[in-house]
Each structure stands twice: as C-alpha cells, then as structure tokens.
Amino acid sequence: MGSKNKLNKFKDNESFKNLLQPSRDEIISGDFKLAVNWKLFFKNQNPIILELGCGKGEYSIGLAKLNKNNNYIGIDIKGARLWRGAKTALDEKIQNVLFIRTQIELIEYIFSNKEIDQIWLTFPDPQIKFKRRKHRLVNFDFIKKYKKIIKKNGIIHLKTDSEYLHGYTLGILEGLGINPCFAEHNIYKSNNAPKEVLDLKTHYEKTFLKKDKNISYLKFKL
C-alpha cells in the first residue's frame, strides 16, 4: 500500500507546476540554468531564498507565508516528501514558493553567481560518522558552493537539534575567520531569537522538543 501511494505521489509530481525535476545531466550541462529565469517564474524581482534539504517543505511554506515579498525555493532529493510541500502550496495558493527535486551538491549548476539572498539549513542530517563528513551541509566544500551563489552579505541560517553539528559549524566558521551574527545553543531560552526561528517548527522539531532536546540556531555571513 505504501509503495502504491508513493507511486501516485510521483505521478502527481509530474503535473505540479511548482515542482521542477530536472535530470542530473540537464543540470550539469547548464541547460536547466539557461532554461529557467527565476524572475519570470515568480513574476517579480523579489529576493530568492533557498531551503536545502527541505523535506516536506514545512519551513519553506512557513517562511513564504510570513514574508510574501520574498521568493522561496526548497530543494530535496526525496520526491515523496516534496509532494507534500508542493501540494500544500498549490492547495493554499501560495505563489512565492517553489520546489526542486535534485541533489544539493548541484546547486552551483542551478543558480548563477551571487543570485541567492539567503540559505536556510533546517535540521540537516549531522552525518556524525567520519566517513560521512563529505555529506555535512556545512563542511568546507558546501560552504564554497554557498559562497559562489549567495550575494555579498547574504545570510545563511542553520537550525539543528545536533549539538555536534552546531559546534562543528562554529569550528568551520572560526577556521574561515567568520564571526557568526547570532549563535544560540537553545533558542527557546533566548530573548532575541528571530521570529521565524521561534514561530516556525517542522514535524521533526516538534518531536525533538517533546524529548526535551535543545534546538540551536546559527546565523552567519560569508
């Protein structure tokens, strides 16, 4: 039953106008970037903000509702998860959010230099095992990719339940000579955490909070 439901979602995804599914070859060749003009797609010139590893798109949708003068793009490789976000956006007629099904490591082929205003990393897998370190979304290689596509003084947000990932990221930033704009190990005990950090909660975050896990937040510029 679950497999059949997933296949139905994949079929729906093909018809959703707010969900793009370019092939890897199309992306790497540059054809996708040439074919898509984000200003024409969103029909405005508002700032573009990415959520990487967006899952079901809960945060992208929440941000889009809070900030209607921004455009949001959620990226994930899991089609069944993206189905939920795309369908919710269509059902609720949220026009300033879009989803792309692809690998995050391809973002520098999808967006032009200095095209993105902000990047959100919401509860990414901390990839604690040493052999998985290349998959951490805040390692040096990913930071280089972000620096390429984000505008000067563009902001990167990291929200996580992982003390390890929070500390690891602080170490990466120190190595790059970057002082974070905001760093908090438990945002729900902070007096000045941003509204979108406190008010928006993913399914995973709600689960973590029920287990009394601290939720940390980092905000920094490259």
The residues annotated with a catalytic role in the active site are 125
Contact 49/116 with Cβ under 8 angstroms? Answer: yes
User: Which residues make beta-bridge pairs with 50?
Assistant: 73, 119
What are the tokens at 199? 């008010």
Residue in this structure with the two tokens 């369908």, named with its chain if needed: 87
Instruction: Give the integer Cα–Cα distance in Å for 195 and 140.
Output: 29
CA 102 to chain centre: 12
Instruction: Give the integer Cα–Cα distance in Å for 222 and 113.
Output: 14
Instruction: Give the integer Cα–Cα distance in Å for 39 and 151.
Output: 16
Q: SS3 for 60?
A: helix
Please list, in sequence order, all residues whose beta carbon lies within 8 angstroms of the beta carbon of residue 43, skipping any fewer than 6 positions away. Answer: none
